[in-house]
Structure 1
Amino acid sequence: MNNEMSEAGPLDPGRVNLLDPLDVQYWCRELHCSELELEMAVSAAGDHIAAVRETLLTGRTA
C-alpha cells in the first residue's frame, strides 16, 4: 500500500466504520487509541465521531 492511501481520511468523516480497516487505522491514529479502545468506544457511544471522541476522553467505555 502506498503512503497516500494510508494518509487518506475516512469516506464519512463524521462516523467510525469498524468494518473498514483503513477507517479503523485512520481513527486510531487521529484519536491516539488502540483498535480495541476504538471498538469499545463505538460499542458504548455509537459510531458518531463526536460521541466516540468524548467517550475516549472521559474513559466511559465500560
Structure 2
Amino acid sequence: MNDDLERPGPEDPSKISLTEAWEVRYWTKRFNVTEAQLRECVRRVGNGTANVAQCLGKKWP
C-alpha cells in the first residue's frame, strides 16, 4: 500500500495492482482505458505491466 499521496505512481511499476483505487486510476489514465478494460486484461494475462500493456495494445515504457 502506498500511503505517500504525493508519489506520482506505483511503488512497483512492473506489476499492476487493482486493490487500491488510486492505483486503478493511475493505470487507467496511464493507458487511457476504462477500468473495465484494465480489469479484463489483468484477468486474462495476469498483473505484469508489460503483458497488460500488450493486451491493451499500448506501449510500455
Q: TM-score, normalised by structure 2?
A: 0.79
Which 5+ residue runs of structure 2 have no aligned equivalent? none
**3-state SS, counterpart of residue 57 of structure 2:** helix
Q: Structure 1 runs of 4+ off > 6 angstroms?
A: none
In angstroms, what is the RMSD of aligned CA positions? 1.8
Aligned to 1:18: 18
Q: TM-score, normalised by structure 1?
A: 0.78
- Number of positions where the alignment pairs a residue of Structure 1 with one of Structure 2: 54
Which 5+ residue runs of structure 1 have no aligned equivalent? none
What CA deviation, in whole Å up to 9, does each residue of 1:2-61 have, x standing for no partner? xxx477201211111000111111100010100000000000010000000000118xxx
Higher helix share: 1
Aligned-residue sequence identity (percent) comes to: 28
